[in-house]
Structure 1
Amino acid sequence: MDPFSSEGELLNLHNSFHQGQYTSVISESTAGLSPTNQTAAKVYILRARIQTGEAAAVIQELSDATEPDLKAVKAFAEYTLNANAAEMEQLVAAEAENATVQVLGATVLHLEGRSEEALALLGKHQGNLEALALIVQLRLSQNRTDLALKEVQSAKKWAQDSLLVNLAESWVGLRIGGDKYQQSYYVYEELAQAPISSSAQTLVGQAVAELHLGRLEEAEVALQQALEKNPTHAEALANSIVLATLAGKDSGDYLKTLEGVAPNHIFLEDLKSKSDMFDKAAAKYSPKVGA
């Protein structure tokens, strides 16, 4: 078995998963992989199945799992179904040095509102690009663009050509703004041009860059393509609402669909929070009818 060929196949799985090409990942054969890479490949395939709605089947399949990586996938699948973090918390306490536990455990902790614990867990990683990308996302969610940028700059010293590093740099660029908008757009444009890479996820990234550049028509095309590939893609729906609002169009259908597929989406929570704040402020100026 050629070890270099095996590494290349695993890298293809890695890239396909992080581009949102879940169907491609699931259909990938792992027969040619070395024993060392078999578990890593299985983790990507199982995670892709969770993303496509097969969480229950994955849980059943991993009922007797003993490897930390597979136990982490099982705990993550269970969390997606019942939002119970107990099993993942136990795994994090016992296997904090495991790369899969770090990434999936940190994801659950963040979703539980425990971002600092998630960052502490991810800080244990040893050259794990997915952990690094997740750190960047968490720092951006905390509005710490400076720390997110620091992570990207550090990663570029040892993983310059990595897909995840390029994506992480584009996320930071969209937050920094200015000429970074165009640089971020180029990353997604390059991905979208390759047929296998033109996933809904990639198209949404391209559309966000287009929105920042003020190119509403181009953003609309990209979002329409994303929704054609996946009509319930939450990020595509959220950004379609933003686009419709900017363009002065009705966003009601997108909003209704998003409320149905992702009622706890951060966009909806933020929208409700701002609506409540507006109502509270408006109430102070309500006309008083005297006797």
Structure 2
Amino acid sequence: MDFFSIKQNYYTGNFAHALQDIRKHTESEDDTLLFYKLKTLLALKKYEAGSFKANPIGVTFDIYVQFLKSRNISALESHVNTETASPYELNIFASALAIEGRYDESLEVCVYGIDNSESAGTTELLLLAIQVTLLDGQFSVAQTLFDNFIGAQEDNITSEDELIVNLAESYIKFATNQDTTSSNFYYFEELAQTFPTWKTQLGLLNLHLQQSNIEEAQGIINFLESDYYSVEQKEAAELYKPDFLANKITLAILSGSNNVDELKKELEQLDPNHALIQNNKKINSDFDEIVAKYNI
């Protein structure tokens, strides 16, 4: 079964269209279809617990959603048997571990699934593994994971898998400042032009900020604050607001604006667990420790 359109809409952040495509396959019980349906419903805040308990992936996802609310991972840890779980169940479990900041364990789960399964879902595990290693600052590990996967699966990668592989590679290039003004920039630019969604616009915005292209970055921010994006796409605007604010903070710092603290307070109120807020707290804490050390 071809899920290219579903995955294309999902990974470009066009969740409403992804769900429309998914609903065309009402008679299918395919695990890939269910995985993307669950993730899409959650992104759209339309997920209802217990709706898919006939499938092991649905049961695992229910427990995952409970974890997102409680931040207590114990039930998920007890439920998922790494050796018998499907790649999609491993993906759900590894995602929770990553949210917990347990990057090594999350990566271990991903790698186990990639190495021990030839079924659907291994490419998704690769993407998650790349994201986890980049979050953990293990850039060389991310590149090795990517190269090894391509070397082993090159002849088996379908068009829908290639979409995910290209995204994983773009993340590595962004994190390691590769092809910043060439192929990686053009990749996000083409995505933003071909699929003009909140997610693709934010991706391009990040590339401009990485290059300190202040005028271009401000142009995208103005575009995202226009009625088309902020009013007509209200659900997406709310979903991506924390990351949008994080980008506005970065631009404010680069341009020497005086509203940095105001934007940080707004982000902290909206999402106190956002990476930018947590990193900022860590930097301030480390600085305070240094000051205290030399004031003794």
Q: CA 1:257/1:274 → structure 2, altered by over 3 Å: closer, same or farther? A: same
Q: Deviations over 1:124-174 (max 9, x none)?
A: 233511100111111112222112112222344523851211111111111
TM-score by length of structure 2 reads 0.82
Give the structure, 1 or 2, with the largest relative contact order (CA under 8 Å, sep 6 or more). 2
Q: Is 1:201 paired with 2:199?
A: yes
TM-align CA RMSD: 2.6
Q: Is 1:150 paired with 2:144?
A: yes
Query: Which runs of structure 2 are paired with 1:63-78 in the superposition (5 Å)?
Result: 65-78=53-66
TM-aligned CA deviation for residue 72 of structure 1: 2.0
The secondary structure found in structure 2 opposite 1:53 is coil
Q: Hey, what's the Cα distance between the residues in 1 that align with 2:24 and 2:14?
A: 20
Q: Which moved more, 1:11-20 or 1:158-167?
A: 158-167
Q: CA 1:221/1:11 → structure 2, altered by over 3 Å: closer, same or farther? A: same
The secondary structure found in structure 2 opposite 1:201 is helix
Show the counterpart of 1:61: 51
Show the counterpart of 2:270: 261
Show the counterpart of 2:165: 165
Q: Which amino acid aligns with 1:142?
A: D
Which aligned segments of 4 or more residues in structure 1 are displaced greater than 6 angstroms?
A: none
Query: Which runs of structure 2 are paired with 1:235-250 in the superposition (5 Å)?
Result: 235-249=243-257, 250=259
Q: Is 1:15 paired with 2:8?
A: yes
Q: CA 1:31/1:48 → structure 2, altered by over 3 Å: closer, same or farther? A: closer
TM-score by length of structure 1 reads 0.83
Q: Deviations over 1:174-216 (max 9, x none)?
A: 122253453221111111112xx22222212111111122212
For structure 1, list consecutive stretches of 5 or more residues without a partner in the other structure. Answer: 1-6
Q: Deviations over 1:42-87 (max 9, x none)?
A: 33122112122334xx21434xx13211112212221222212123
Q: CA 1:71/1:269 → structure 2, altered by over 3 Å: closer, same or farther? A: same
Show the counterpart of 1:222: 220
Q: Is 1:138 paired with 2:126?
A: no
Q: Which moved more, 1:148-157 or 1:127-136?
A: 148-157
TM-aligned CA deviation for residue 33 of structure 1: 6.6
Q: Hey, what's the Cα distance between the residues in 2 that align with 1:44 and 1:278?
A: 43
Show the counterpart of 1:24: 17
Q: Which amino acid aligns with 2:254?
A: L
Q: Which moved more, 1:213-222 or 1:238-247?
A: 213-222
Residue from 38, 43, 46 that aligns with 1:46 = 38
Show the counterpart of 2:208: 210
Q: CA 1:221/1:253 → structure 2, altered by over 3 Å: closer, same or farther? A: farther
Q: Which moved more, 1:263-272 or 1:119-128?
A: 119-128
TM-aligned CA deviation for residue 98 of structure 1: 0.4
Show the counterpart of 2:186: 186
Q: Which amino acid aligns with 1:152?
A: F
Show the counterpart of 1:98: 86
Q: Which amino acid aligns with 1:189?
A: E
Q: Which amino acid aligns with 1:102?
A: L
Q: Hey, what's the Cα distance between the residues in 2 that align with 1:268 and 1:17?
A: 27
Identity %: 22
Q: CA 1:61/1:35 → structure 2, altered by over 3 Å: closer, same or farther? A: closer
Contact 1:188–1:205 (8 Å) recurs in 2: yes
Q: Which moved more, 1:102-111 or 1:124-133?
A: 124-133
Contact 1:200–1:225 (8 Å) recurs in 2: no
TM-aligned CA deviation for residue 32 of structure 1: 4.2
Show the counterpart of 1:4: none
Q: CA 1:34/1:153 → structure 2, altered by over 3 Å: closer, same or farther? A: farther
TM-aligned CA deviation for residue 114 of structure 1: 2.0
Contact 2:180–2:207 (8 Å) recurs in 1: no
Q: CA 1:236/1:160 → structure 2, altered by over 3 Å: closer, same or farther? A: farther
TM-aligned CA deviation for residue 103 of structure 1: 0.8
